[in-house]
């Protein structure tokens, strides 16, 4: 046994791998793990020191930025489709706004277009309905006029509520007029004029006996009023189209809650 120990030590001395320059080859994994762990500790300490030095606002921003970048770099298909349709709507609405101001291509016709838009305002229609209701002497006429007055009031309240929720501005920076403020039609979506003329035209087509030329003129009047709101730059195309849809829904609502002749007479007597 004592003789074997000196032989093994001599072997270790003569082994080339035991030299200092080859020691790293004997334990490669341990050295790598130690270097990695030391680098991780150093980076962790540096990160902790940086996190302690930064204030809470910067931490929140640093946490939010990667999510925002991911959302911008990888948007959903619905988001791409919606933004594309919105861009097309804005572009087409600006091109059709030929009477947005005096310097526009059709700036000279702005007064006439505004006059066409007045025919769709709620205040003249409410005032005219009240005058006709006072002068009406038939029960059927009073019933129709009372329900028409209800439809006009519902239109103003529903459109004003939807506009307050959406708060969408028009394609051009145009201040609303006095009648717009009275009817609370100050935002773009949905178009109050479009919803009103759609509701009125459908109401008259259902409850008045009109000849075919008058029916065609009534539909053309509603379309022209809606187009005029885009031409003067107050609404987008989608605002007008959605206004037509809401006007039809309002007509259906009035038909569901239609007041009978007795109810109308009771309200007239109270008034």
How do residues 60-80 score in pLDDT, each as one tens digit?
554 554 444 444 555 677 778
The strand ranges marked E within 9-139 are: none
Q: Sign of torsion, CA 261 158 125 218?
A: negative
Return the exposure string of 114-149: e unless at least 16 CB atoms fall within 10 Å of the residue's CB, then b: eebbebbbbeebbeebeeebeebeeeeebbbbbbbb
Q: Is residue 60 part of a domain?
A: no
Q: Is residue 76 part of a domain?
A: no
| Predicted pLDDT of residue 3 | 53
Instruction: Point out the residues of the chain with pLDDT beneath 70.
Output: 1-75
How far is it, in rounded angstroms, from Cα 76 to Cα 134? 58
Q: Is residue 53 part of a domain?
A: no
Q: Is residue 22 part of a domain?
A: no
Q: Is residue 94 part of a domain?
A: no
Burial of residue 23 (number of CB atoms within 10 Å: 0-12, 13-18, 19+): exposed
* Boundaries of domain holding 249: 107-270
| Number of domains, the chain | 1
Return the exposure string of 250-262: e unless at least 16 CB atoms fall within 10 Å of the residue's CB, then b: bbebbeeeebeee
Q: Is residue 13 part of a domain?
A: no
How far is it, in rounded angstroms, from Cα 102 to Cα 105? 8
Give, to the nearest 10 degrees, the angle between helix 122-135 and helix 192-207: 30
Q: Is residue 226 part of a domain?
A: yes
| Predicted pLDDT of residue 265 | 87
Q: Is residue 230 part of a domain?
A: yes
| Predicted pLDDT of residue 202 | 94
| Predicted pLDDT of residue 157 | 93
Residues taking part in catalysis:
193, 235
| Predicted pLDDT of residue 78 | 77
pTM metric for this prediction? 0.69
Residue appearing with tokens 């006996």: 209
C-alpha 207, offset from chain centre: 35
């Amino acid at each position: 046994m004592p003789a074997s120990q000196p032989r093994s030590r001599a072997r270790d001395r003569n082994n080339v791998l035991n030299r200092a320059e080859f020691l790293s080859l004997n334990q490669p994994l341990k050295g790598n793990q130690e270097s990695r762990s030391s680098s991780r500790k150093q980076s962790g300490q540096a990160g902790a020191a940086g996190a302690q030095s930064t204030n809470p606002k910067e931490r929140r921003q640093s946490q939010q930025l990667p999510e925002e970048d991911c959302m911008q770099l990888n948007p959903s298909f619905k988001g791409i489709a919606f933004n594309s349709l919105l861009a097309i709507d804005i572009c087409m609405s600006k091109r059709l706004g030929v009477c947005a101001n005096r310097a526009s291509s059709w700036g000279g016709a702005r007064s006439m277009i505004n006059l066409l838009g007045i025919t769709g305002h709620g205040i003249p229609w409410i005032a005219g309905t009240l005058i006709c209701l006072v002068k009406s002497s038939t029960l059927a006429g009073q019933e129709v006029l009372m329900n028409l007055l209800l439809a006009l009031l519902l239109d103003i309240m529903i459109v004003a509520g939807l506009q307050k929720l959406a708060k969408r501005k028009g394609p051009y920076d145009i201040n609303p007029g006095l009648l717009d403020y009275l009817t609370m039609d100050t935002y773009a979506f949905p178009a109050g004029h479009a919803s009103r003329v759609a509701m009125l035209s459908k109401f008259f087509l259902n409850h008045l006996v009109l000849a075919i030329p008058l029916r065609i003129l009534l539909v053309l009047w509603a379309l022209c009023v809606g187009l005029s709101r885009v031409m003067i730059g107050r609404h987008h195309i989608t605002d007008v189209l959605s206004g037509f849809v809401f006007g039809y829904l309002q007509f259906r609502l009035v038909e569901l809650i239609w007041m009978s002749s007795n109810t109308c007479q009771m309200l007239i007597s109270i008034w």
